[in-house]
Amino acid sequence: MTTTRDRHDLDSHGAPGAHGKAVLDDLSPLHRQLRRAIPDAYVGFGELHRAAFADGALDVPTKELIALAIAVVEGCDGCIASHAQAAARAGATRQQAAEAIGVTFLMHGGPATIHGPRAYDAFCEFAPDADEPASRHPHE
């Protein structure tokens, strides 16, 4: 019997891990279906997203790391995958992601020690190098 916890530890093909790309791939058709039903809500959310992540006193990588940390605290695998990808694309490093996730341990305790490693795994799926910001990786 597969428990809820077991399902969260498996990717879309029933394999362990895969907390980034597989999660986004699973959610994408569901988002498209709902977006067709409530397009105005998605447009409004898109505008809020653009405003919240606009470069300002905080740069975009920092904002994405904040969102990633909140996703860990909320235990939202889709949010973890989405913001891990966005943080990596914005140039956050693996060490920056790890430290942001580390703060969640303090602020959320034990549950963060479960979702935190998932978030780091997701980030590492999208960040190709441990020492360089993802956006500056020579193979992109």
Assessment of whether the complete model's pTM goes beyond 0.85: no
Spell out the SS3 assignment of 33-94: HHHHHCHHHHHHHHHHHHHHCCCCCCCHHHHHHHHHHHHHHHCCHHHHHHHHHHHHHHCCCH
Spatial separation of the C-alpha atoms in residues 105 and 94, rounded to whole Å: 17
pLDDT tens per residue, range 49-85: 999 999 999 999 999 999 999 999 999 999 999 999 9
Q: 43 in a domain, yes or no?
A: yes
User: Number of structural domains, the chain?
Assistant: 1
DSSP secondary structure letter of residue 9: T
Query: Per-residue pLDDT for 14 more than 90?
Result: no
Of the candidates 2, 22, 1, 20, which has an alpha carbon nearest to the alpha carbon of residue 11?
22
**Residue 91 domain boundaries:** 17-135
Q: Tell me the CATH number at 41.
A: 1.20.1290.10
The stretch 46-51 carries a mean pLDDT of 97
Q: 25 in a domain, yes or no?
A: yes
Average pLDDT, rounded, for the chain: 85
pLDDT tens per residue, range 24-36: 999 999 999 999 9
Residue type, 59: D
Spatial separation of the C-alpha atoms in residues 60 and 47, rounded to whole Å: 16
* pLDDT of 97: 98
Q: 123 in a domain, yes or no?
A: yes
Spatial separation of the C-alpha atoms in residues 140 and 49, rounded to whole Å: 26
Q: 87 in a domain, yes or no?
A: yes
* pLDDT of 128: 75
Helix (H, G, I), strand (E, B) or coil at 20: coil
The stretch 87-116 carries a mean pLDDT of 96
* pLDDT of 87: 98
* pLDDT of 80: 97
* pLDDT of 18: 79
* pLDDT of 131: 56
Q: 54 in a domain, yes or no?
A: yes
Q: 79 in a domain, yes or no?
A: yes
Q: 8 in a domain, yes or no?
A: no
